[in-house]
């Protein structure tokens, strides 16, 4: 097969894609022989390009095979072609190179195109793949694209229309790297392979669900993009809603890509729409001020290089979401995400209903609810908070946590395969389970659109929060209004 990488001299290729391909190669998961063709605007010889790939692996690969011979064999698969995405002749040259390599290696015309480029080029590249003949293969073809997929409902639909004129939906693999995280992938096993959990995974037993993705980093060097996007487009429309779908979906008829995506779509269809008027009561937006994180002083968002000093961009969003179906009606799902928060943590906390309160109240004891805590990153961990008598404290009932660490999966110190490794592998074998289907993307934009409009029209306050905190107080109020609190904030 042929793997064509647009944006091969870019940062993502260097940090993630080449190391991922190399690790797959070491695991013998990269089909052999394979032709890998990198594309970029600059001029490079095949050799220069192979050197760049090697350098990236030496710097970023999670492991290295010290046998230089093996690395040589791997690099031998790489070729480079200069390409200006708007120049149709360049696509013809690319087609010649692809065919030449197919003949040399005697491989089938199975072609995968990975667009690791700025989103504004997605449509033009897809159309050129179609028009140049690159997409007219005797074998299969696939397209993989990075986010963002549009910047609102309308642009997402326009983009999809163009992509679908060149590729079938089954051929399009939309990356959401959160779906590549081992613990997000593990959610389906937790829910569906454990009868104990499955039987309580519903409104009868669950009081609320809290999904957090907090970061300590600020806008870094990406102000140009981020100041136009905000947390709502950068994290909520994609990663947060994907985690929500994975948590709330029902047991699929079969555990396969189409059934799982079907169930995820049903979750999105059941989300109660937020009207522009509701936004004020259901959504909290914030922006970070200066502060201190891990002992280091950091500037406020408006003082970051490249940010408009009068910017209204949200660097924090929290939301209360209702899923109006028989499984979840009445159970609030809270999501929150922000930059420059107190800690880097992606986690899902499921709070169970607490019907035992009265029983122990006579004893003057308050019993904490049971919690299922799923840590997605940086650690991968599942823990269950139960109540237990503490013999060291007069037999008082206190919460204890039972931990199931998944760190064992870093067997023999080699580390867990990274999200990109898993996703590229799935792309290679054509498994789309952990990629976003167009319907999921469209429904996510549909749900988010009134929020975008309300932000745009300034219909709700932009709360400031100091760097190094858990975000604005209003995000706590959102839970307090229903008698809850964010768990694990310390």
Q: Which residues are catalytically annotated?
A: 239
Output 25 or 455, the one with its CB closest to ligand BG6: 455
Output 376 or 479, the one with its CB closest to ligand BG6: 376
Site for ligand BG6 in 72-131 (CB under 6 A): none
Output 94 or 298, the one with its CB closest to ligand BG6: 298
* Residue 418 found at the interface with ligand BG6 (CB under 6 A): no
- Dist CA 432 CA 257 (whole Å): 6
* Residue 421 found at the interface with ligand BG6 (CB under 6 A): no
The answer to the question of whether 41 is labelled as a binding residue is yes
* Residue 337 found at the interface with ligand BG6 (CB under 6 A): no
Residue identified by tokens 């789309």 is 432
Q: How far is the CB of 384 from ligand BG6 (least distance, A)?
A: 24
- Dist CA 105 CA 112 (whole Å): 16
Provide CB contacts within 8 A for 217, sequence distance 6+.
339, 340, 344
Q: Which residue from 273, 324, 316, 248 is spatially nearest to 486, judged by alpha carbons?
A: 316
Given 242, 311, 313, 346, the residue binding ligand BG6 (CB under 6 A): 346
Helix (H) or strand (E) holding 142: strand 141-145
- 283-293/316-322 β-pairing: antiparallel
The answer to the question of whether 177 is labelled as a binding residue is yes
Q: How far is the CB of 11 from ligand BG6 (least distance, A)?
A: 12
Can you say whether the dihedral through the CA atoms of 5, 142, 172, 431 is positive or negative? Answer: negative
Q: How far is the CB of 1 from ligand BG6 (least distance, A)?
A: 28
Which residue of the chain is nearest ligand BG6 when measured via CB?
Answer: 234
Q: Which residue from 262, 228, 268 is spatially nearest to 244, judged by alpha carbons?
A: 268
Q: What are phi and psi of 483, to 5 degrees?
A: 80, 20
Can you say whether the dihedral through the CA atoms of 263, 265, 267, 270 is positive or negative? Answer: negative
Q: How far is the CB of 419 from ligand BG6 (least distance, A)?
A: 7
Greatest CA span in the chain, whole angstroms?
82
* Residue 146 found at the interface with ligand BG6 (CB under 6 A): no
Given 123, 152, 215, 398, the residue binding ligand BG6 (CB under 6 A): 215
Q: 3-class SS at 126?
A: helix
Residue length, the chain? 490
Query: Could you tell me if 65 and 26 are in contact, meaning their C-beta atoms sit under 8 angstroms apart?
Result: yes
x/- site string to ligand BG6, residues 377 to 416, per CB under 6 A? x---------------------------------------
* Residue 345 found at the interface with ligand BG6 (CB under 6 A): no
User: How many chain residues are in contact with ligand BG6, going by CB under 6 A?
Assistant: 4
Q: Which residue from 419, 411, 430, 435 is spatially nearest to 23, judged by alpha carbons?
A: 419
The answer to the question of whether 485 is labelled as a binding residue is no
Given 102, 234, 263, 418, the residue binding ligand BG6 (CB under 6 A): 234
Q: How far is the CB of 215 from ligand BG6 (least distance, A)?
A: 5
* Residue 315 found at the interface with ligand BG6 (CB under 6 A): no
DSSP state of 83: -
- Dist CA 26 CA 33 (whole Å): 14
Q: How far is the CB of 53 from ligand BG6 (least distance, A)?
A: 23
Annotated binding residues for substrate, written as ranges, equal: 177, 181, 215, 234, 339, 344
Annotated binding residues, written as ranges, equal: 7-14, 41, 84-85, 147, 177, 181, 215, 234, 339, 344
Binding site for ligand BG6 (CB under 6 A): 215, 234, 346, 377
């Amino acid at each position: 097969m042929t793997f064509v990488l647009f944006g091969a001299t870019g940062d993502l290729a260097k940090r993630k894609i080449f190391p991922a391909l190399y690790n797959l190669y070491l695991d013998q998961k990269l089909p052999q022989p394979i032709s890998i063709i990198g594309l970029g605007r600059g001029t490079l010889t095949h050799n220069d390009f192979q050197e760049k790939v090697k350098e990236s692996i030496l710097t970023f690969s999670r492991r290295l095979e010290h046998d230089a011979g093996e690395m040589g064999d791997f690099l031998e698969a790489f070729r480079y072609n200069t390409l200006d995405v708007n120049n149709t002749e360049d696509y013809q040259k690319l087609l010649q190179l692809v065919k030449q390599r197919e003949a040399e290696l005697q491989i089938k015309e199975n072609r995968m195109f990975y667009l690791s480029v700025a989103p504004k080029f997605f449509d033009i590249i897809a159309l050129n793949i179609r028009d140049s003949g690159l997409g007219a293969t005797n074998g299969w073809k696939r397209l993989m694209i990075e986010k963002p997929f549009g910047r609102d409902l309308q642009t997402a639909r326009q983009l999809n229309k163009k992509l679908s004129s060149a590729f079938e939906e089954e051929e399009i693999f939309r990356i959401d790297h959160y779906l590549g995280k081992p613990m997000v992938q593990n959610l389906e096993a937790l829910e569906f392979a454990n009868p104990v959990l499955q039987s309580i995974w519903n409104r009868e037993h669950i009081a609320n669900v809290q999904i957090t993705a907090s970061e300590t980093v600020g806008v870094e060097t990406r102000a140009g993009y981020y100041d136009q996007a905000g947390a709502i487009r950068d994290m909520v429309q994609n990663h947060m809603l994907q985690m929500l779908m994975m948590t709330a979906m029902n047991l699929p008829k079969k555990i396969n890509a189409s059934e799982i995506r079907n169930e995820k779509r049903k979750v999105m269809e059941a989300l109660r729409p937020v009207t522009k008027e509701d936004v004020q009561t259901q959504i909290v937006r914030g922006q970070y001020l200066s502060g201190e994180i891990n002992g280091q002083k950091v500037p406020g968002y408006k003082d970051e290089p490249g940010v408009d000093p009068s910017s209204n961009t949200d660097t924090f969003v929290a939301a209360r979401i209702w899923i109006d179906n028989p499984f979840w009606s009445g159970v609030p799902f809270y999501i929150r995400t922000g930059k420059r928060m107190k800690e880097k943590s992606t986690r899902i906390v499921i709070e169970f209903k607490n019907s035992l309160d009265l029983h122990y109240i006579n004893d003057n004891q308050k019993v904490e609810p049971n919690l299922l805590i799923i840590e997605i990153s940086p650690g991968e961990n599942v823990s269950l908070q139960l109540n237990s008598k503490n013999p060291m404290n007069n037999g008082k009932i206190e919460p204890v946590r039972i931990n199931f660490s998944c760190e064992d999966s870093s067997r023999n110190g080699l580390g867990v395969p990274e999200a990109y490794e898993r996703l590229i592998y799935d792309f290679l074998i054509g498994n789309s389970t952990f990629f976003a289907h167009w319907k999921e993307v469209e429904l996510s934009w549909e749900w988010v659109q009134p929020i975008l409009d309300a932000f745009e029209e300034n219909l709700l306050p932009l709360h400031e929060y100091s760097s190094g905190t858990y975000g604005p107080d209003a995000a706590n109020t959102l839970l307090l209004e229903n008698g809850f609190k964010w768990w694990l904030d310390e």
